[in-house]
Amino acid sequence: MTAIPHGRTRRTPLVSALCALVVGSTGLAGCSEDPDAGTNGVGKLPAAQIQSKTTAAAAAVDAVRLSGSVVTSGHTYKLDMSLKADGGTGSVTAEGVAFHLLRVGEQLYLKADASFWNKEDGKAGDGSDTAAADKLDGKYVKVPTGDPSYKKFSGFTDKDLLLDGLLTLHGSLATDGHHEQSGVRTIRITGDGGSGGKLDVSLEGKPYPLRLERAGGAGTLSFSAWGKDFDLEEPAKDETVDYGKQLPSS
């Protein structure tokens, strides 16, 4: 896939500085630059069309990395995930406990330390709990498809499902000016003046979403590495534990 170019990131500040110098020394007005000059052109479109183009661009690309926080059902999850069509890998932190997810096709693995597996907020309930936690400590545990954890955690590794749920602004759409994210020029669109979410869309290369503030303070996410492939392989057998039909802490 085409990488997002960075060659023009200093152009706007430089031109603005020169413009200010000319105006200050000559008193002439009207020195300005088209903020959409040299861009992919989506900044000139209505907000609804920008949203349509950015969601289409996100759906068409093979891989992406997303990082940030998501608040759902009263819980805050911190994510750093690399995703593509057939799976994903990365870290999730919930309620101060971190764990690693890996999905290859339909097979989902979860890796965490013993404190994750111990019951009662990290305190073992009895000797059997401690033994199970020690057995799973630092291992990739196969998550059975019928386990309650499978649906919950596999969603964090599903590119299309995750982006479909995240890249939604609520309410009346509008544009909110030109901005910059990590050196890339963007156009921002909002829902209901920002209360329904804010989304920065790249003006360079493909109109990929680069930063999202979810409605109602439900988290902020950054998107990067669009189209950059990565290895996705099942862990070695000596790194894997198959616990059976249900995980111990489900």
Tell me the average pLDDT across 199-227. Answer: 97
Tell me the average pLDDT across 168-180. Answer: 96
Tell me the average pLDDT across 24-41. Answer: 68
Q: Calculate the average pLDDT of the chain.
A: 84
Tell me the average pLDDT across 69-89. Answer: 94
Tell me the average pLDDT across 175-198. Answer: 97
Tell me the average pLDDT across 81-94. Answer: 95
65 compared with 26, residue with greater pLDDT: 65
What is the pLDDT at residue 26? 39
Q: How confident is the model at residue 244 (pLDDT cuts 50, 70, 90)?
A: low
What is the pLDDT at residue 133? 76
pTM (2 d.p.): 0.80
What is the pLDDT at residue 148? 86
CA-based radius of gyration for the chain:
23
In this predicted structure, the answer to whether residue 23 has a pLDDT above a threshold of 70 is no
The residues with which 173 forms a beta bridge, in sequence order, are 191
Of 75, 101, 57, 74, the closest CA to residue 223 belongs to 57
Domain boundaries, the chain: 46-61+171-224, 69-162
Rounded Cα distance, 200 and 185, in Å = 9
In this predicted structure, the answer to whether residue 156 has a pLDDT above a threshold of 60 is yes
Handedness of CA 99, 102, 106, 107 (dihedral sign): negative
205 compared with 246, residue with greater pLDDT: 205
Query: Beta strands 198-202 and 173-181: pairing type?
Result: unpaired
Rounded Cα distance, 121 and 30, in Å = 64
